[in-house]
Amino acid sequence: MIRFAFKHVCIDSYAVNLPPNEMTSAEIEDRLAPLYKRLQIPMGTLEKLSGIRSRHLWDVKVLPSEVATVAATKALEKSGIERSQIGALFSCSVTRDNFEPATACIIHHNLELGEQSLAFDISNACIGFSDGLMMLGNLIESGIVKAGIVVSGENVARIVDNNLKTLLREEALTRDDLIELLPTLTLGSGAVAYVLCHDSISTHKHRLLGGALRTATQHSELCSGNADSCATDKNVESILMRTESSKIIAAASKLGSRLWPETSEVLGWKREDVQHIFCHQVGRQVNEAFYREMGLDYQKEYTIYREYGNMVSAALPTALALGVDDKPVRKGEKVLCTAFGSGLNGVFYGIEW
């Protein structure tokens, strides 16, 4: 277990960039109709199991750096931070442009940031963005940089499309195979960026206070992809992810039950002090029983998965960016973020809005 606490770190601004193309679960199942018929799977199973009605996707040719640059530009424009003050940029997406250079380098160039700043990728499944916040927060708290950007640009269109083609092509697939492959079809695309800075130069002063993290790698086999692909790799025709959903959800809830008491101690918050909760947007599997296991109040959660699906590393930060305006979250209120990623990793952190 690792704990971290900040006194001077603020989220100064945030922005999202969402794809225009909607794909419903019903549309996906229409394409899978021959497989459903062969395996005697009722139509509507995908939405019934996941709670996800739709997801949004870019064209397969759209690069993660392109959509991430748009989100980062918006976030910078909303902040009071000059480009010359940006000391670090972390790109935290699972999907990326190339094996090298780091996608962060491309975004850094697109934003015309200077040589005096860091730029590198942080890759850690769906928890990457939260890892980026922790990393940047520590750089700001220690005085190494005054401000920085955490960004994720996810384009999962090729992964979803290849998954559908494989499901229809492989005649030996069983019902058990289908259950392990269906979670890939809950994925959606999106981009999100946060500008973090020292409180001495922050305009909006949403305080990132700290939290705790744990890494439970005994569960690392529960969700895995068969290829380390990038957006410009046109030779990968069969990218597949296999997920044992029930097992990884159960393991995540137990990990959360260990993380919340530690986070509570760092923040000095009791369960009843938390006014808003944003969890990784995996689907309806993160339910009331999941929250009971963690010791948190399910009624305080805000979700976007029904409309946007599981947006991989962009999921939780996008939910927060949309939710603070939609709920709304008022100044001084306590926000708890509970991030999970296959591996299995968990990091909880608190924000005083």
Phi-psi region of 240 (alpha: psi -120 to 50; beta: other; left: phi over 0): beta
Q: Is residue 292 part of a domain?
A: yes
Q: What CATH number has the domain bearing residue 346?
A: 3.40.47.10
Q: Is residue 105 part of a domain?
A: no
Catalytic choice (27, 77, 100, 237): 100
Domain that holds residue 251: 207-352
Least trusted range by pLDDT, from 61-75, 157-171, 318-332? 157-171
Judge whether 126 counts as a catalytic residue.
Answer: yes
What are 111-136's pLDDT values in tens digits?
999 999 999 999 999 999 999 999 99
In DSSP notation, 152-214 reads EEE--HHHHHHHHHHHHH-TT--HHHHHHHGGGGGB--EEEEEEEEEGGG-SS-EEEEEEEEE
pLDDT at 145 exceeding the cut of 90: yes
Q: Please provide the average confidence, as pLDDT, over all residues in the chain.
A: 94
pLDDT at 227 exceeding the cut of 70: no
pLDDT of residue 236: 55
pLDDT of residue 230: 64
pLDDT of residue 64: 97
Q: Is residue 118 part of a domain?
A: no
pLDDT of residue 273: 98
pLDDT at 31 exceeding the cut of 90: yes
Catalytic choice (126, 197, 223, 337): 126
> How confident is residue 169, by pLDDT bands cut at 50, 70 and 90?
confident
pLDDT at 156 exceeding the cut of 60: yes
pLDDT at 225 exceeding the cut of 80: no
What are 58-103's pLDDT values in tens digits?
999 999 999 999 999 999 999 989 999 999 999 999 999 998 999 9
Q: Report residue 321 as tokens.
A: 């960016």
Alpha-carbon 333 to chain mean position? 23
Residues 182 and 164: beta-carbon distance below 8 Å: no
Of the two residues 44 and 180, the one the predictor is more confident about is 44
pLDDT of residue 181: 86
Q: Is residue 272 part of a domain?
A: yes
In DSSP notation, 100-122 reads SS-HHHHHHHHTT--TTSEEEE-
What are 262-306's pLDDT values in tens digits?
999 999 999 999 999 999 999 998 999 999 999 999 999 999 999
pLDDT of residue 319: 98
Query: Of 26, 74, 61, 68, which Cα lies nearest the Cα of 46?
Result: 26
Q: Report residue 133 as tokens.
A: 């916040």
- Identify residue 226 by its one-letter amino acid code: N
Q: Is residue 39 part of a domain?
A: no
pLDDT of residue 238: 59
Q: What percent of the chain has pLDDT over 70?
A: 96
Q: Is residue 92 part of a domain?
A: no
Q: Report residue 62 as tokens.
A: 């759209």
pTM of the model: 0.95
What are 260-274's pLDDT values in tens digits?
999 999 999 999 999
Of the two residues 170 and 206, the one the predictor is more confident about is 206
Q: Is residue 90 part of a domain?
A: no
Q: Is residue 45 part of a domain?
A: no
| Total domain count, the chain | 1
pLDDT at 244 exceeding the cut of 60: yes
How many other CB atoms are found less than 10 A from the CB of residue 135? 19
Q: List, in sequence order, every beta strand (DSSP E) within the chain.
A: 2-5, 9-17, 21-24, 54-57, 86-91, 118-121, 147-154, 190-198, 206-215, 223-225, 241-243, 276-279, 334-341, 345-352
Query: Of 337, 232, 238, 209, which Cα lies nearest the Cα of 280?
Result: 337
At 98, phi and psi to the nearest 5? -140, 170
> How confident is residue 221, by pLDDT bands cut at 50, 70 and 90?
confident
